[in-house]
Amino acid sequence: MFLIDAPFVSEYLKQTLQELKNPVIQTAYAEEALAGYKINYISERKAVQTYNSDRQIQFHTNSENALDWILAQFPGSELALIVAQLKDKVCFRDVLAQIHPGYYYSGCPYGELQNVDSASLPFPVILKPSVGFFSLGVQRVDNQDQWVDTLSTLNMMTSSYDGIYPSGVLDNSTFIIEEVIPGEEFAVDCYFDELGQVVILNMMKHLFASGDDVNDRVYITSSSIMKQYLEPVQSYLNILGSLFNLRKFQAHIEIRIDADEIAAIEINPLRFGGWCSTADLAQYAWDMNLYEAVVKSVKPNWDHLTKIDPDHVYALVVLNNSTGIAGKEIARFDYDALLATIRNPLELRKTDFQKFPLFGFLMCKVPANDMSDLNKLLHSDLREFISSS
């Protein structure tokens, strides 16, 4: 069953839901978002009854927001337990400690952060909401002086996005302090089959502008990335699947790879990348519909797929508001000027930047031997594209 929720449903997903004819839970948001499409709706009551009679049914969502519905409808179920365990970063680390026992992390109520003995912290550390989304509130802190500066501005930072997402998606009441995981970062869209074996549907390398950058700006996928990392990542994710008992379970997983060491950052349950982003990129990169693949239990032939277009890199550019200017104070974003900076744009999705802290998403392809277009956007604060009110 599909559970569709705010803030966004792409046209690609809408069309897919119409063609697949899989049941979509008939929430008020789903009816509004999917208006005009022929959808195979199932009432909320019937959906609950169906799952309660067959706990093997798999849920697919497009958004973190949908998790609250699952937790509310099936309290005490194994699914709710797994979702809650994965969503809360402190609980997630508690379980993950079984395979990464030396990793430092500590949960702390927001009101007690000022009392933390910073001299005891293994800098550099990451400070972020225990229940979070989209890198909002995430801060890298390299030393004690920076710790003091971060805490002094934390209230202003968190208040800037307060109320954008429900508390089940983003909650500033508790923060987690954790050591920085070394290595390169990757995001993996996948599902775990009925035997608990992972099936990787896409893998994207997360590019950063610098060592202390924590933004979601550029993700890339390519034949070379899949060839180099598919097998070791698959082996590691199978361990995670066993650890958290993931079966018939869709996920968007973030990891870091340092030489031969792989470590999980987080597992986002029952969805792919937020805002229909990473899954929709796969239609361009691999000519593959990830929503259909997970529903039909497709297992990609990566030997074949990686031979189709080895000369290009496919990228997702997250146009997060890094201007330092609040969205409500921005009158216009020049999307045409943005597109002019990219030689091969594939799709541009605009967002309400006065409501959400981002201007949109850009999908594009660039030559594998020349990623200069991406590097410019990676290092840009995007001020050149805005007009203030």
Structural domain spans, the chain: 2-86, 104-179, 184-388
304-345 pLDDT tens trace: 999 999 999 999 999 999 998 999 999 999 999 999 999 999
Is pLDDT at 157 greater than 70 in this prediction?
Answer: no
Average predicted confidence (pLDDT) for the chain:
93
What per-residue confidence (pLDDT) applies to 165? Answer: 44
Residue 237 main-chain phi, psi, to 5 deg: -65, -30
- For 351-383, the pLDDT digits (tens) are 999 999 999 999 999 999 999 999 999 999 999
Q: What is the DSSP letter of 272?
A: S
Inform me whether the pLDDT recorded for 172 exceeds 90: no
Q: What integer is the mean pLDDT of 183-195?
A: 97
Q: Lowest mean pLDDT: which of 48-62, 107-121, 188-202?
A: 107-121
In whole angstroms, give the CA distance from residue 216 to residue 361.
11
Mean pLDDT, to the nearest integer, of 222-246? 98
Q: Which residues pair with 200 in a beta bridge?
A: 190
Q: What is the pLDDT of residue 170?
A: 47
pLDDT reading at 7 higher than 60? yes
Contacts 24+ apart (CB under 8 A), 39-44: 42/1, 44/73
Burial of residue 72, with CB atoms counted within 10 A of its CB: 0-12 exposed, 13-18 middle, 19 or more buried:
exposed
Does 184-388 carry CATH code 1.50.40.10?
no
Confidence of residue 110 (pLDDT cuts 50, 70, 90): confident
Burial status of residue 107 (CB atoms within 10 A of its CB: 0-12, 13-18, 19 or more): middle
Give the pLDDT of residue 260. 87
Find all residues with CB under 8 Å of 180, minimum gap 6, and list them: 124, 125, 126, 140
Instruction: Indicate the helix (H) or strand (E) that contains 207.
Output: strand 198-207
What was the pLDDT predicted at 166? Answer: 47
**pLDDT(134) > 60:** no
Task: Look at residue 153 in the predicted model and tell me its pLDDT.
Answer: 80
- pLDDT tier, 158 (very low <50, low <70, confident <90, very high otherwise): low
Give the pLDDT band of residue 171 (cuts 50, 70, 90).
low
* Range 104-179 classified under CATH 3.30.1490.20: yes
Q: What is the pTM of this model?
A: 0.93
- Distance, in Å, from the CA atom of 337 to the CA atom of 67, rounded to the nearest integer, reads 37
